Amino acid sequence: MSRSIWALWKWPLHWQIFLAMLAGAFVGLALNFLTGARDIRVTEGLPQGWQAVEIRERVGSTRLRILRDDGGETELRVEAGETRDGTFATLSALRAIHPDVASVLDVHGGTWATTIGNACRQLGNLFLRMLQMVSVPLVVTSLITGVMGLSGHAVGRMFALTAAYYATTSLLAILTGLLVVNLFRPGLGGQGAPTGEGTRSVIASEPPPIGEVLFSQLENLIPANPLGALVEPNFLSIIAFSIAFAVFAMRIGGATARRVHEAAKTGMEVIMAMTHAIIRLIPLGVFCLMLYVTATQGADVFRSLGWYMLTVTAGLVIHGCITLPLILRFVAKRSPTEYARALSPALLTAFSSASSNGTLPLTLTCVEQRAGISNRTGSFVLPLGATINMDGTALYEAVAVLFIAQWHFGENLPLTQQIVVAVTALLASIGAAGIPQAGLVMLVIVLQAVNLPLELQGIILAVDRVLDMGRTTVNVWSDACGCAVIETLEHRVTLRDIPPDAWE
Ligand code: ASP
């Protein structure tokens, strides 16, 4: 038995990750099913004057009934969303007003599903921290090495090609989203439409206008303090400064350029070695993160908003499995299945972590070492893509807003309004960070553009994390496909030279 478990370690990495993902989901769902709900009555160790506290725990919500000696009763709830009368968005919000109730929950609250799920999230986060640890030095060294391998003219050309690719694929993704949401009409179907109960917003204040969001992205391109950008980290600032640094080192030329290039190459070698070591731990990280999501969210999440989820998923599948592979086949002249296989460790990690930025070190390693993309293309296209190219997010924004509009108005938005949604969804996806649920935060901008009440965002909150996993995978897949496309357009691809699989 122990020998067969040990043999798993020798399996190809993408199979290990896939297996870990399934195992995590299975264990999480089982935990949720068996231990996700609990009703208890606490009578011991309560503050003076309290007779009993009844705690009713379900996935994502806890209801408390405090029964007093004098016959009085108070009902309180803790559930994600807005803090208002008797309802608290988090345990900390409850603690601020009712510390005595919170301490009863500290001692007696928490189903096994949430307790184990949260412990696994902490373990999974350790793995994400390791990836974050290498991401800034990897982006800096790899970008400087990549840019210094190009001529000054080629940098401009690469930038123009990359921007054109990002804009084209994001628009195609939005059109796909609009197509499926008009076809499926999830908000009008009845069976998929959620009830108004629980409608609430995660965003308490007014969202900034889209112009302001885009201008702040422009400001990010000029870091007032490059070291601050490294510490934060602000990827757009880091990318802009690293490119400028490399370009000016090339301008100086001679021994200076040689030394900068050598130093960047040496740094990159070391960071790559660290990344490889971290990559061995992916199956464990993926197992923990999948277990956390399924144990704490359960299968109910899939049932209540099924029709809407189906629409977003259909759009993501069309874009990820038809549109991008067609571009890969006909523009980049690459086999989509082989390319996807080479990228599978990155795609599976993007799925379970829901973070393009977190997956970046892995995406870089996969395109360069498993898919035969040159360092200069990978290091240029991927960091920029993880920050501003988000096809999955753009598609999701379009579907979510049209779904909410259908549900709210009882009919589809007119074409002119759908065009407004398309344009704002594109801009919002550029503004979204490559971190979990950033797309949800940007959704308010699109809702506002078509004058929909912001609190309606609450109806899709419950399923956002699950959809985030799918859209992040498409975001990373699009960035990776962009590398192949730009490599080919730059006439640099040498398909015969693809190195043997490094990890198999
Ligand atoms: N989680 C996504 C990403 O990292 C962004 C989003 O929330 O849509 O790419």
Atom of ligand 1 nearest to the CA of 471: 8
Q: pLDDT-based confidence at 206, cuts 50/70/90? A: low
Task: Tell me: do 120 and 98 sit in the same domain.
Answer: no
Q: Does position 86 have pLDDT exceeding 60, yes or no?
A: yes
Element holding 41 (H helix, E strand): strand 38-42
CATH number of the domain enclosing 382: 1.10.3860.10
How confident is the prediction for the chain on average, in pLDDT?
Answer: 84
Report pLDDT for 200: 39
Report pLDDT for 403: 93
Q: pLDDT-based confidence at 466, cuts 50/70/90? A: confident
Final residue before a domain boundary, out of 60, 92, 110: 110
Q: pLDDT-based confidence at 248, cuts 50/70/90? A: very high
Task: Tell me: do 344 and 434 sit in the same domain.
Answer: yes
361 C-alpha to center of ligand 1: Å? 16
Residue 413 lies in a domain: yes
Report pLDDT for 3: 62
Q: What does the alpha-carbon distance between residue 74 and residue 139 come to, in Å, rounded to a whole number?
A: 54
| Best mutation site among 289, 312, 356, 476 for ligand 1 pocket (most ligand atoms within 8 Å of CB) | 356
Task: Tell me: do 43 and 177 sit in the same domain.
Answer: no
Local structure of 68: helix, strand or coil: strand
Task: Tell me: do 65 and 158 sit in the same domain.
Answer: no
354 C-alpha to center of ligand 1: Å? 6
User: Atom 6, ligand 1: which residue's CA is nearest?
Assistant: 439
Task: Tell me: do 96 and 180 sit in the same domain.
Answer: no
389 C-alpha to center of ligand 1: Å? 10
385 Cβ below 6 A of ligand 1: no
Local structure of 264: helix, strand or coil: helix
Report pLDDT for 110: 79
Write out the residue range of the structural domain in which residue 320 sits: 116-193+213-495
pTM of the model: 0.73
Residue 500 lies in a domain: no
Question: In the chain, what percentage of residues exceed pLDDT 70?
Answer: 88
Q: Does position 263 have pLDDT exceeding 90, yes or no?
A: yes
Task: Tell me: do 65 and 184 sit in the same domain.
Answer: no
| Best mutation site among 442, 461, 472 for ligand 1 pocket (most ligand atoms within 8 Å of CB) | 472
Report pLDDT for 491: 66
- Nearest partner of 473 among 320, 309, 314, judged by Cα: 320
Task: Tell me: do 365 and 434 sit in the same domain.
Answer: yes
Local structure of 165: helix, strand or coil: helix
User: Atom 3, ligand 1: which residue's CA is nearest?
Assistant: 434
Residue 328 lies in a domain: yes
Do 476 and 359 meet the contact criterion of CB atoms below 8 Å apart? yes
Mean pLDDT for 320-346 is 95
Q: What angle do CA 226, 230, 234 make, to 5 degrees?
A: 90
Domain count, the chain: 2
Local structure of 43: helix, strand or coil: coil
Strands (DSSP E) found in 45-129: 50-58, 61-68, 73-79, 87-88
Handedness of CA 154, 160, 164, 167 (dihedral sign): positive
Residue 200 lies in a domain: no
Q: What angle do CA 323, 155, 491 make, to 5 degrees?
A: 55
User: Atom 8, ligand 1: which residue's CA is nearest?
Assistant: 439
Atom of ligand 1 nearest to the CA of 433: 5
Task: Tell me: do 151 and 74 sit in the same domain.
Answer: no
| Best mutation site among 349, 393, 429 for ligand 1 pocket (most ligand atoms within 8 Å of CB) | 393
Order across the sheet with 73-79: list the strands.
Answer: 38-42, 50-58, 61-68, 73-79, 87-88
Q: What does the alpha-carbon distance between residue 198 and residue 191 come to, in Å, rounded to a whole number?
A: 18
Final residue before a domain boundary, out of 62, 94, 110: 110
Residue-wise pLDDT tens digits, 166-181 = 999 999 999 999 999 9
Residue 25 lies in a domain: no
Final residue before a domain boundary, out of 88, 110, 132: 110
Strands 87-88, 50-58: pairing is unpaired
Residue 208 lies in a domain: no
Atom of ligand 1 nearest to the CA of 356: 4
Q: What does the alpha-carbon distance between residue 343 and residue 178 come to, in Å, rounded to a whole number?
A: 28
Residue 10 lies in a domain: no
User: Atom 1, ligand 1: which residue's CA is nearest?
Assistant: 436
Local structure of 284: helix, strand or coil: helix
Do 298 and 59 meet the contact criterion of CB atoms below 8 Å apart? yes
Listed in sequence order, the DSSP H helices in 149-281 are 152-184, 210-220, 226-231, 235-252, 254-279
Residue 489 lies in a domain: yes
Task: Tell me: do 135 and 269 sit in the same domain.
Answer: yes
Both tokens assigned to 452: 């929909």
Bond preceding residue 99 cis, omega within 30 of 0: no
Q: pLDDT-based confidence at 480, cuts 50/70/90? A: very high
Task: Tell me: do 221 and 348 sit in the same domain.
Answer: yes
432 C-alpha to center of ligand 1: Å? 7
Task: Tell me: do 95 and 158 sit in the same domain.
Answer: no
Q: How far is CA 504 from CA 204, 280, 336, 370, 445, in A?
A: 49, 12, 20, 10, 45
Task: Tell me: do 310 and 343 sit in the same domain.
Answer: yes
- Nearest partner of 444 among 204, 214, 216, 234, judged by Cα: 204
471 Cβ below 6 A of ligand 1: yes
Q: What does the alpha-carbon distance between residue 419 and residue 98 come to, in Å, rounded to a whole number?
A: 48
